[in-house]
Chains A and B, each alone.
Chain A
Amino acid sequence: MNFRSKALKFCNIAGLPVLEPFVRLAAGEDPKEQMAGIAKFLLLPIFTVCIFIGLWSMAARTVVTGSAQLPGPKATFDAGVELFQMHFAQKEADLAMRQKKLGSAIQAMAKARVLEQAATNASGNKKTELLVTAMAYKQEAVRAANFVPSSAPTFVDQIITSLKTVFFGFAIATLIAVPLGVLCGMSPWFNAALTPFIQVFKPVSPLAWLPLAGLIIIWAYTGSDPATNWFEKAFLISAVTVSLCSLWPTLVNTTLGVASVDKDYMNVAKVLKLSWSQQLFKIILPASLPLMFAGLRISLGVGWMVLIAADMLAQNPGLGKFVWDEFQNGSSQTFARIAFSVIIIGLIGLLLDRIMICLRNLVSFGNPSPAG
């Protein structure tokens, strides 16, 4: 395969039709035709974004209440830059702090050594006294070495927490939904047994789940030592809410995918007399992967959307909490920061969606879906 077809295949699988006209241009195809593609996928979106920013600036000048004002594009951008600057400043300070603590840890350790050395030559009460002091220095050294800066999470920290939460919740949802979906797809009886639950719980909003999820997690955590817990309560409540909401698209799509495996593929399996597990792993699962991934893509989208609300309510340190806290603080920057968060939340959602499209295209041979 030559460069051109390889690159075109990449555009197709990555769901990036934007790049296609450029690849074709680079390969020396008719520039006129490619200009149409560039205009459609690049110039037109740039144009509409410009119009949007113009309208936004106008709105920012008009929407003014007594105490606040709708932040314009410039204010939003500045607030974003400031948030990132704050993050890096904070990290630098933390690093310096750790450096200092490490230095003192080394010093304490050296002192402990000296004392221990002295103890080997001493005897009786003097020796015990020296050893006890050395022990105290050692403990101090360990504490200093394990020091974690306790500064408030920055905007970037919140993004990372949010991503962790959504992936954790999404992973739980996938681990539950895919096996259940496979069973539903393979056995109409099992499907009939689960249908009432699926249909009743699917349309329920995350906010209704949250108190119940919280209750169950608080129950599970009662009497346990906080130090031995793997996860924080708020994190788990958020994650479980995300899973409960993002379960359904994967479950429904997996069921559909497994139930609608091409009859011809099953005939191939029958002629070869494949065993049950071979049928499952060599025919049914690979054949239902495209639909399964279409479901996973919707699930991740739903999960990300739900997460922001769940973070707000569960007070999980994520983007949702950031928005909520900003709103409560009510500083002059409040609305600009919230507007910036909205854009960042949208961009991350877009990125996650792209990744899922790409994965789906990787498993659906011959019919990659256009980016939609």
Chain B
Amino acid sequence: MNAIISPTTTMSRTDAEARVIHTESSAPKPMMTLRNVSKGYGSGATRNEVLKGINMNLRDGEFLAVVGFSGSGKTTLTQLLAGLIRPDSGEITMNEEVVTGPSPDRGLVFQNYSLLPWLTVRGNIALSVDRVFRHWSRAQRHEHVDKFIEMVGLTHAVHRRPHELSGGMRQRVSLARTLAMKPKVLLLDEPLSALDALTRSVMQDEILKIWEEERQTCLMITNDVDEAILVADRIVPLNPGPSANLGPAFTVELDRPRNKTELNHNERFKQLRNAVTNYLVAVRQKSRRDEAAQSTQVRIDRPNISPKDLSLSGRTQL
């Protein structure tokens, strides 16, 4: 692979090319695989193609971040992975088995928390635990719930209901609820987007800390490039829709544990941030021009984006 990214060329890859999955011999085996997955909503004239020809590997034990603009189909992607919706075409597998429906093996943290308002913090977490570990004794489950409430630092608020919690606390409950199920894969759909900047920063550190303890396979959706670089092993941009597909993956070769303040002065971090941001800006401009071209039927030249050297952080093709 050459070390130059040109969005125009990557985006015009055919499906056949895209299906060639780049595998390094050292790379861990994929935990989840998406092969040529497409998904749209509606039918006829109101048909809205959201995702088209998505190919992706989620490797065992890695933290993958997907960045994209809102409305590009990120939530659709996580719901596909969770098994809450089925792809129109293509195939999603987990450990070589086709995903046909939701399962506690794939824990999903919802974009808007989805806490049940009539249950307390403990009740919300216990709902999952009691269901997933129903063969355990009552005392065991109680202890398990306690452990995860403590992990997210909500021991003082166990008896409160969601409407009595701040946004950050709600997200902690949601996270604890999913983690307590001990899923094999953790899917986080924009877990921090609804939070204010300060809480968000605190929660980033916390997610990172929890992940570094368990090293669980994890896919996190985000709209913040800095956040993606801070937490992830690889970053995959989701191109703007309709018919969105994935861009090239950026590998984040920064040592762990990572520290936000140190990263800000790190040259690699800065270069990677510029690379990802420039890529996203470029694809958005292109998609806008494509749209404009389609509506006016006038041909507009493709954007001329200067190639970018990314030798510091090796890139892998998805």
B161 and A273 contact, CB distance less than 8 A:
no
In the complex, whether B82 has a CB less than 8 A from a CB of chain A is yes
Bound form: Cα–Cα A4–B190 in Å: 37
What residues on A are CB-neighbors of B82 within 8 Å?
271
Dominant secondary structure of chain B at its interface with chain A: loop
B128 and A272 contact, CB distance less than 8 A:
yes
A270 and B84 contact, CB distance less than 8 A:
yes
Interface size on A, residues (CB 8 A): 20
Bound form: Cα–Cα A283–B114 in Å: 12
What residues on A are CB-neighbors of B258 within 8 Å?
none
Q: Quick one: which of B117, B118, B127 contacts A272, CB cutoff 8 A?
A: B127
Least distance between B161 CB and chain A CB atoms (Å)? 5
In the complex, whether A267 has a CB less than 8 A from a CB of chain B is yes
B163 and A267 contact, CB distance less than 8 A:
no
In the complex, whether A28 has a CB less than 8 A from a CB of chain B is no
In the complex, whether A91 has a CB less than 8 A from a CB of chain B is no
A286 and B118 contact, CB distance less than 8 A:
yes
**Known interface pairs A267-B84, A267-B114; A272-B163 also in contact (CB < 8 Å):** no
Bound form: Cα–Cα A271–B132 in Å: 10
Q: Quick one: which of A268, A366, A367 contacts B114, CB cutoff 8 A?
A: A268
In the complex, whether B215 has a CB less than 8 A from a CB of chain A is no
In the complex, whether B108 has a CB less than 8 A from a CB of chain A is yes
B104 and A365 contact, CB distance less than 8 A:
no
In the complex, whether A164 has a CB less than 8 A from a CB of chain B is no
B116 and A271 contact, CB distance less than 8 A:
no
In the complex, whether B103 has a CB less than 8 A from a CB of chain A is yes
Least distance between A77 CB and chain B CB atoms (Å)? 45
Bound form: Cα–Cα A365–B101 in Å: 31
Q: How many A-B contacts at CB < 8 Å in the complex? A: 57
In the complex, whether A189 has a CB less than 8 A from a CB of chain B is no
A365 and B108 contact, CB distance less than 8 A:
no
In the complex, whether A363 has a CB less than 8 A from a CB of chain B is yes
**Known interface pairs A272-B104, A365-B118, A366-B163; A264-B131 also in contact (CB < 8 Å):** no
Least distance between B148 CB and chain A CB atoms (Å)? 15
Question: Range of interface residues on chain B?
Answer: 20 to 34
A273 and B116 contact, CB distance less than 8 A:
no
Most A CB contacts (10 A, CB to CB) among B103, B104, B131 go to B131
In the complex, whether A265 has a CB less than 8 A from a CB of chain B is yes
In the complex, whether A27 has a CB less than 8 A from a CB of chain B is no
In the complex, whether A40 has a CB less than 8 A from a CB of chain B is no
In the complex, whether B107 has a CB less than 8 A from a CB of chain A is yes
**Known interface pairs A273-B103, A363-B118, A366-B161; A282-B110 also in contact (CB < 8 Å):** no
Nearest neighbor of B177 in chain A, beta-carbon distance = A268
Q: Quick one: which of B101, B104, B110 contacts A264, CB cutoff 8 A?
A: B110
In the complex, whether A274 has a CB less than 8 A from a CB of chain B is yes
Least distance between A188 CB and chain B CB atoms (Å)? 19
B161 and A264 contact, CB distance less than 8 A:
no
Interface members, chain A 263-317 (any B CB < 8 Å): 264-265, 267-268, 270-274, 278, 282-283, 286-287, 289
Q: Per-residue CB proximity of B117-130 to A under 8 Å, as 1/0?
A: 11000000001100
Q: Quick one: which of B110, B112, B117 contacts A366, CB cutoff 8 A?
A: B117
* Cβ contacts A to B, 28 pairs, < 8 Å: A262-B114, A265-B114, A267-B79, A267-B84, A267-B108, A268-B114, A268-B116, A271-B82, A271-B103, A271-B106, A272-B127, A272-B128, A272-B131, A272-B132, A272-B181, A273-B103, A273-B104, A273-B131, A274-B131, A287-B116, A287-B118, A289-B118, A365-B118, A365-B161, A365-B162, A366-B117, A366-B161, A366-B162
Interfacial residues, chain A to chain B (CB-CB below 8 A) = 262, 264-265, 267-268, 270-274, 278, 282-283, 286-287, 289, 363, 365-367
Beyond A268-B114, A289-B118, 9 additional contacts (C-beta under 8 Å) are: A268-B110, A270-B84, A270-B102, A271-B103, A271-B104, A271-B107, A287-B116, A365-B163, A366-B161
Query: 3 closest A-B pairs (Cβ-Cβ)?
Result: A366-B163, A264-B114, A365-B117
Interfacial residues, chain B to chain A (CB-CB below 8 A) = 79, 82, 84, 101-104, 106-108, 110, 112, 114, 116-118, 127-128, 131-132, 161-163, 181
